[in-house]
Structure 1
Amino acid sequence: MAEQHLTKSELAIMEVMWEQEEALTASEIIKASGDKEWKNSSIHLMVNALLEKGFLEVAGFKKTTKNYARTFKPTMTKEKYFVRKVMGNTPVAEKKKIYMQLLKEVDEIETLDTIKEEIYARKKELENR
């Protein structure tokens, strides 16, 4: 997926989607949005934009009172989105600096041990290509 920009409203919808454990219909997105007062037509426009940008995909259909509605789910995790947003077109040398700075922010040995295990697993994965 090419680097894509999300509007504030699209990001708000994605936040709702990332918080949910299951695929949602447009109406369910509105209900789960809490204080946002989106209209049905606005949600449909934003969901279609997110589909087009590749952030959402159709997961299936759900029976509503009179008909069926499409359900949607995110194509990536929240963490992956933000990593791509930050790292997008960053040169390799700059990425190394970002990784190092992120590691300096970690204060728990247990977290560092987990990161170390992930680094070893990723390294093995790359070596076996």
Structure 2
Amino acid sequence: MNDKHIELSENEEQILQTMWREDRPLTRSEIINLTENKTWKESSIHILLNQLLDKKAIYANEIVKTGKGFGRTYLPLIKKDDYDFNKLKNEATALNPSDSSIKKFLSFLVKTDKITSEEIDDLEDLLK
């Protein structure tokens, strides 16, 4: 698991959510069409994809035929589980910056009712 958390804007995160959900290489046009509740223009998505490339959150996979021309496809470099875990861990650490250990992190989740008993059972199964 990657312990480094990458800070993403809401729009960048939505692009990654679309990529994780689709689980295949996507072109800019596909990202625009598949991302829910967004009406991005080509210029906006171009900027967002470049920001994600700079942050090493995605990579340009290959060039494919798209309509009359050609376009790049993109894939995430970050696994959804790693991103979600690190985001949650950073939020917990922000509340208690003096201790960011896993034990303290899990303790925080349990004490603040941020985790269900079913999730606790799943964690116990993982630890066995």
Deviates more, 1:24-33 or 1:103-112: 103-112
Maintained 8 Å contact 1:106/1:112 = no
Normalised to the residue count of structure 2, the TM-score between the two structures is 0.75
Matches within 5 A, 1:22-101: 22-87=24-89, 90=93, 93-95=99-101, 96-101=103-108
- After superposition, the CA RMSD in angstroms is 2.6
Match of 1:107 among 114, 117, 124: 117
Q: What's the TM-score, normalizing by structure 1?
A: 0.74
Moved more, 63-72 or 48-57: 63-72
Q: Distance between the aligned counterparts of 1:13 and 1:22, measured in 2? A: 13
Flag the structure with larger Rg: 1
Equivalences, count: 117
SS class of match (1:70): strand
What runs of 5+ residues in structure 1 fail to find an aligned partner? 118-129
Q: Is the 8 A contact 2:5 2:83 kept in 1?
A: no
1:59 is paired with a residue whose SS is: strand
CA 1:85 to 1:110, structure 2 compared with 1: closer, same or farther past 3 Å?
closer
**Equivalent residue runs for 1:8-27 within 5 Å:** 8-27=10-29
Between 60-69 and 32-41, the greater mean CA deviation after superposition: 60-69
